[in-house]
Structure 1
């Protein structure tokens, strides 16, 4: 089973290290982890995708909740949340292949963000199934490099928003 945790943490030095250290010490699996500033500069939002059985996932949530810098933790249910991921793909593409690759990018509303003599870099944001479908269509092309940000997400609506004074 996979679970997406959205953590609101104090923006203190080492907080991400302490959270990842907890996962490492307890041998918990991290599928992806993203962190970034929030609208309030005192806090950072960290999104962790982790996997395990129900007991392990419950233990992860309890252990993370105990950490000093963690202000709030939410389990983001897929049906009540919006998830996105960014990928950048560098593809070998000669002059003849550029239009084919660009056409595939257009179908997915991806952007060509850089072009070299023999390659293109394409940027795409979406859910994991969209990114997977895009990569499947690129199967016939040589992928030189691939970078993924990992999943980030927020719960839908305004009912579950934490306001900290």
Structure 2
């Protein structure tokens, strides 16, 4: 199977779980107690994770899947890059609009449509770093009176700015565990 074919592999089961439960209880897979994360620190946490992601993307086998039914480290890095961008946009929307409504984002369709498995690791590293720095700057600029502003995902899950950022950090931290970083 070529690298490009890997992103279309039917062995990858789409993740249709609603992961918002991590805001209420510890994640048994990565160990993070998401609800205890200080949302104002998420910018720093994201910035601190960027060098780890760059090291992952420098691996010689970054595009190899450890198992046929699990993304490669490259695919996880592409996903995190896109999560950082999507969450930046959602944070911005929450700060601009009362009870913001988020457009649907199908992460599995994005992985296929954008050919995560075929992307160039160096390009992904630069884009992930840029998205992370942009998100971190936005977190650092959240006004003190904005942490309780709300937004709603297309499936009805409601977030505050605080819980959105906690949820975001879980995604990044969880995938660092997935890639052994």
Work out whether the TM-score is over 0.5.
no
Which one has the bigger strand percentage?
1
Give the structure-2-normalised TM-score.
0.27
Give the structure-1-normalised TM-score.
0.29
Structure with the greater relative contact order (CA < 8 A, sep ≥ 6): 1 or 2?
2
User: Rg bigger for which structure?
Assistant: 1
Which one has the bigger helix percentage?
2
